[in-house]
Amino acid sequence: MPAPRVFILRHGETEWSLSGQHTGVTDIPLTENGEKRVRATGRALVGNDRLIVPKRLTHVYVSPRKRAQRTFELLNLGFEDGALPWKAHGLVEEAQPQATQGDNSSSERHCRAPIQITEDIREWDYGEYEGITSAEIRKRRKEAGLSEQWDIWTDGCPGGESPEDVTRRLDRLISDIRSTYQEPHMSSTSSVATPGTGDVLVVGHGHILRAFAMRWVGKTLAEGPTFLMEAGGVGTLSYEHNSINEPAILLGGAFQVEDPEREIAEARKD
């Protein structure tokens, strides 16, 4: 059985992601183009033969912000009506031409994983820097007699969160994912039964998901990420050698296909 994965999904485009304004607690919606792009991501990456297989998900974590919740809705994983722990922010599917054979139809998607809203994956609290750009931050710091070389990964945000604050809540979330949803699937001696295959989806924001990826592999935030995450982008985390003690960033996650003979063989091993 392949190692469980964690899919990290950044919310789609907003007016502030376009302008570069830091968006933490401000609850702004996706742009029209942002919604279109997330729908396209869902069509491309979600399905029984795609990167994210809905029926294999064990748990879903979503930020409290509506831009993240709307992004999750638009991914269209195939949840039943009433499954969302919030009031839907809009329709999921646009009117489409009748599907032809071979299309990745949303009607074939079915997911029963619990959906949890968690503050642990909300965006970094930018404090005094909420709603302003990096250029404006440097200008303000210069006027205040501070160093213009501001780095959120080491300096944090005045009136907001420090890197240590963010690390604590992310480590708590990572521990929960591993101990509750993934280690049971990786241990043949575990008696804990959970649905799916241990795959987890985390829907959040740019800075916090980059920080999440660093903490996943044991890097401190002060080391700084050398990777980016676009609005509406998807990343994948997993484990090397199918070992809970070897977390890794999966640079190239392959699409999934049904293999009944292999599944039967794996079941016999258990």
Annotated binding-site residue numbers for substrate: 23-24, 67
Tokens of 130: 């909420």
Answer for the pair 237, 8: CB distance below 8 angstroms, yes or no.
yes
* C-alpha of 21 from chain center: 21
Annotated binding-site residues read: 23-24, 67
Answer for the pair 60, 201: CB distance below 8 angstroms, yes or no.
yes
* C-alpha of 126 from chain center: 20
Residue of 217, 241, 242 lying closest to 227 (CA atoms): 217
**89 in active site:** no
CA distance 157 to 82: 38
CA distance 224 to 145: 25
Catalytic residue among 32, 80, 94, 143: 94
Strand runs labelled E in 69-179: 115-117
**94 in active site:** yes
Residue 4 has phi, psi (to 5 degrees) of: -60, 155
Q: Which helix (H) or strand (E) holds 267?
A: helix 260-269
Residue of 64, 111, 71 lying closest to 90 (CA atoms): 71
Answer for the pair 127, 161: CB distance below 8 angstroms, yes or no.
yes
Q: How many CA atoms lie within 13 A of 13 on its CB side?
A: 14
Catalytic positions, written as ranges: 11, 94
